[in-house]
């Protein structure tokens, strides 16, 4: 099977009601980005961090995967599908996608502040954490999120997947958030690249096809194209 690698951003989840940070009426308008999504902000006001991500989790559990998520899953019958996502939601997994690599962490998980390898999955009936929350070892926890100013531990694995791609697809991202935006530069010369976004960035690459549509509509078009490329 050919390896079909997706790089997904906020645009694929927007149709599920997950607000993006950078769009008009996005989340950044309610909170300064460095207050709720940076290492400095976490150290400065960890209580706000817990409150902010508790709120995001409550919204996430009410959201559902959309047709774009399911379309990626359905392609697993034709390709070796891998997803590299900037999103911290779990909509790819809930749609049944088998192989998902999260670059920026996972909203439904927390980890120990003392032993970051100790990661815990929250459940819909146990979403909230606070400064008083402790893990089974008695350690405080924090959101399992890669804040600004922190390294992106899964990026090297993402680079490897991009390099291995026989077909590479970018969906719903502005291609301005680094290092994730540089994944497209890791794709081998000659590899077909597709970029789905209603407002795509002005980029130029050999073998690049831009599909100027929403994620769901774009995936319908792409699926038909991919049927001829197995």
Contact by Cβ (8 Å): 84, 183: yes
Per-residue buried b or exposed e for 189-212, using 16+ beta carbons within 10 Å of the residue's own CB: eebbbbbbbeebeeeeeeeeebbe
SS3 state at 60: helix
In the annotation, is 104 catalytic? yes
Annotated active-site residue in 50, 69, 102, 104: 104
How many angstroms separate the CA atoms of 138 and 211, rounded? 50
Long-range contacts of 200-208 (CB under 8 A, 24+ apart): 201/174, 201/175, 201/176, 203/175
Proportion of the chain in helix, strand, coil states, percent, rounded to 5? 35, 20, 45
- Residues with a catalytic annotation lie at 104
């Amino acid at each position: 099977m050919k390896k079909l690698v997706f790089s997904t951003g906020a645009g694929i989840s927007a149709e599920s009601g997950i607000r993006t940070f950078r769009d008009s009426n996005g989340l950044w308008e309610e909170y300064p980005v460095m207050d709720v999504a940076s290492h400095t902000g976490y150290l400065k006001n960890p209580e706000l961090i817990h409150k902010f991500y508790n709120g995001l989790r409550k919204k996430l559990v009410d959201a559902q995967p959309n047709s774009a998520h399911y379309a990626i899953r359905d392609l697993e019958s034709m390709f070796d599908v891998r997803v590299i996502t900037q999103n911290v939601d779990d909509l790819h997994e809930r749609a049944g996608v088998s192989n998902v690599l999260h670059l920026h962490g996972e909203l439904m998980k927390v980890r120990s502040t003392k032993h970051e390898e100790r990661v815990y999955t929250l459940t819909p009936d146990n979403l909230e954490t606070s400064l008083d929350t402790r893990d089974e070892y008695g350690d405080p926890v924090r959101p399992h999120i890669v804040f600004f100013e922190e390294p992106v531990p899964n990026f090297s694995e993402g680079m490897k997947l991009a390099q291995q791609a026989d077909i590479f697809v970018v969906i719903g991202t502005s291609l301005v958030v680094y290092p994730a935006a540089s994944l497209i530069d890791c794709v081998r010369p000659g590899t077909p690249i597709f970029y789905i976004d209603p407002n795509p960035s002005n980029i130029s690459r050999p073998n690049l096809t831009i599909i100027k549509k929403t994620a769901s509509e774009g995936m319908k078009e792409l699926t038909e194209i991919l049927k001829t490329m197995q």
